[in-house]
């Protein structure tokens, strides 16, 4: 008998949960992954079930290389690719190998709140770099680097989500990307580009990745199958200069156990070879575009004056600014009493801020629930104003 839930998330009866940044359960490709698993085992058999090479199996590395070159129009060598246990494991490994306690980690603000948790686990001092509607402010970053250099502080890395940012949905433009990679090259600043959403664009494709603008360094690109295929695979990849890939693959963990999630890497490779990933991404774009638009339409109808939403061009989230004087942490219990929940904006800021914002996830919910959630959030805000 099962005594524990089989999912990381919880759904509370009577509450529309905007909290979850998860793929829709009804869109997870169960049949396609079943086909891919059969194909992988039929072709590779015991090799797929053995200890794998530290960088990951060649079948998936080759597929990722070809896919990257087709999408980014830049070349990539196999020595620049490593298979990871999704983004979180890759980020944790990089922090383990490339940082030391007390180092400064620069972080875009606001940014992915659970990445902040991983960085804090490594006892790094988080220094926020503000972002606006154009993404991370590169001029402020330059000023902060100068100030830290005067104080003789060791800066290990800059972490950011430049494409359909979590939580804001903002995408950094090409000019800022070029300025950022140029600054990083001059300063020797390691950039960790977290990129879970770039294939999930709903209006126009995003700009070139930071890594494609600076493939020789100092950018490390972290990709994942969690958003475009299935999070339960716990599978992703790292693109980096060969010396960084070698540093990671020569670690004790990989020497002991071989490549991360070797069987699922074979399954993912077969899924791509069968042409199923392109179909899955097309389905997600179409469905999530409708869900984004339904949520934005509902918010426009039901929220009071003074609210403002950033319209995301892709990704999973709408970043909502509440009316002046409304604190998202204080509003949350009122909203949940009205039957709707969200993540307060303070969770995404490393050193204060975000009090007037909240993150609304739209991919996990069906169209009627998105409309109803917007109505309930509007009721909570109108009730607060009336009170």
pLDDT tens digit sequence for 340-369: 999 999 999 999 999 999 999 999 999 999
For the chain, which residues make up each domain, given as ranges? 16-29+278-386, 30-276
- Does domain 30-276 correspond to CATH entry 3.40.640.10? yes
Q: Tell me, what's the pLDDT at 387? A: 45
Under 8 Å CB-to-CB from 244, ≥6 apart: which residues?
98, 217, 220
Q: Tell me, what's the pLDDT at 312? A: 98
* Fold of the CATH domain 16-29+278-386: 3.90.1150
Beta strand 317-321 with 308-310 is: antiparallel
Residue 104, burial from CB neighbour count under 10 angstroms (0-12, 13-18, 19+): buried
Ranges of the chain with pLDDT below 50? 1-3, 386-387
Q: Tell me, what's the pLDDT at 173? A: 96
pTM for this structure?
0.95
Give the total residue count for the chain.
Answer: 387
Dihedral of the alpha carbons of 146, 115, 197, 356, in degrees to the nearest 10: -80
């Amino acid at each position: 008998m099962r005594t524990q839930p089989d999912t990381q998330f919880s759904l509370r009866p009577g509450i529309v949960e905007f909290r979850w940044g998860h793929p829709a359960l009804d869109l997870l490709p169960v049949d396609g992954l079943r086909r891919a698993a059969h194909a992988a085992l039929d072709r590779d058999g015991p090799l797929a079930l053995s200890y794998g090479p530290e960088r990951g199996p060649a079948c998936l590395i080759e597929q990722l290389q070809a896919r990257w070159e087709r999408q980014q129009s830049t070349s990539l060598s196999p020595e620049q690719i490593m298979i990871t246990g999704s983004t979180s494991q890759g980020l944790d490994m990089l922090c383990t190998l490339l940082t030391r306690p007390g180092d400064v980690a620069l972080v875009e603000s606001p940014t992915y709140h659970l990445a902040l948790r991983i960085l804090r686990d490594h006892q790094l001092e988080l220094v926020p770099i503000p972002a606006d509607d154009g993404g991370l402010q590169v001029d402020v970053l330059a000023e902060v680097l100068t100030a830290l250099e005067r104080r003789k502080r060791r800066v290990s890395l800059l972490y950011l989500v430049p494409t359909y940012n979590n939580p804001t949905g903002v995408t950094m433009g090409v000019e800022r990307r070029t300025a950022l990679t140029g600054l990083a090259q001059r300063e020797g600043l390691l950039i960790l580009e977290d990129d879970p959403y770039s294939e999930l664009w709903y209006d126009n494709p995003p700009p070139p990745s930071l890594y494609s603008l600076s493939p020789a360094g100092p950018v490390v690109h972290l990709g994942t199958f969690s958003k475009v295929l299935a999070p339960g695979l716990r599978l992703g990849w790292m693109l980096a200069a060969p010396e960084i890939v070698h540093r990671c693959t020569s670690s004790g963990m990989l020497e002991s156990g071989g490549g991360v999630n070797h069987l699922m890497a074979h399954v993912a490779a077969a899924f791509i070879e069968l042409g199923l990933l392109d179909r899955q991404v097309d389905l997600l774009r179409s469905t999530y575009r409708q869900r984004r638009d339904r949520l934005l339409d509902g918010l426009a109808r039901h929220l009071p004056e003074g609210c403002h939403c950033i319209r995301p061009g892709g990704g999973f989230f709408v970043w909502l600014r509440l009316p002046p004087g409304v604190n998202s942490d204080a509003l949350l219990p009122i909203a949940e009493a009205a039957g709707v929940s969200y993540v307060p904006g303070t969770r995404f800021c490393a050193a204060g801020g975000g009090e007037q914002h909240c993150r609304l996830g739209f991919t996990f919910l069906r169209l009627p629930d998105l409309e109803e959630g917007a109505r309930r959030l509007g009721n909570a805000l109108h009730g607060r104003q009336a009170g």
